[in-house]
Structure 1
């Protein structure tokens, strides 16, 4: 008896984990009890870890073989730089308005990523790399 394996299309995995991390992260921002904060913080961190796994695997698959390592490295480097700059901007301009303002901004970013991938992102799961690259 073979176990049945379920595969999540990576672009939808990115979208689903981003939205769920937004939901649980927002709940985390408004809870008043230690137990709820611990549980929601764990769930949010777990979802963001999965988001990262989906995202980095997907980013490596969408580039043609001849430029894959350079392109994936370039995109990864810029994601680290932009994250560092974004954290400084958020802490300087948005955090003074409260934790919920930070999550409102996060929801804007989640919407951009989700729409971009849903409308423009190629499917990648179960395809040969040369079939994916556009």
Structure 2
């Protein structure tokens, strides 16, 4: 926001970027720090996936569109594998699967045409949160 002086100066961006753009930039820089040396084509969330409001929005959307027949309410008990305690589901895999769908033994419709990228990222945030909970 205010910039930095000294050996590694940085100009102030608080008058150029709005709060949303700064939050997105911070999330991206944080993601870069966590993913050094990984595939640069990996989708980048536009917000912090640990944001409680985004997790709750994903929870609400999940229970309206994903639960019931396929995934079960709160991510357990559906026809698909449970999400609680699941640590193998990367953000890239979750985003791409929701966006593009899947064919084969585990069919899932693509949601990229029905949901915005931001809505899909909220679902990913919720799935990420479920992965931190103990499996049932």
TM-score normalized with structure 2 length: 0.31
Structure richer in helix, relative to its length: 1
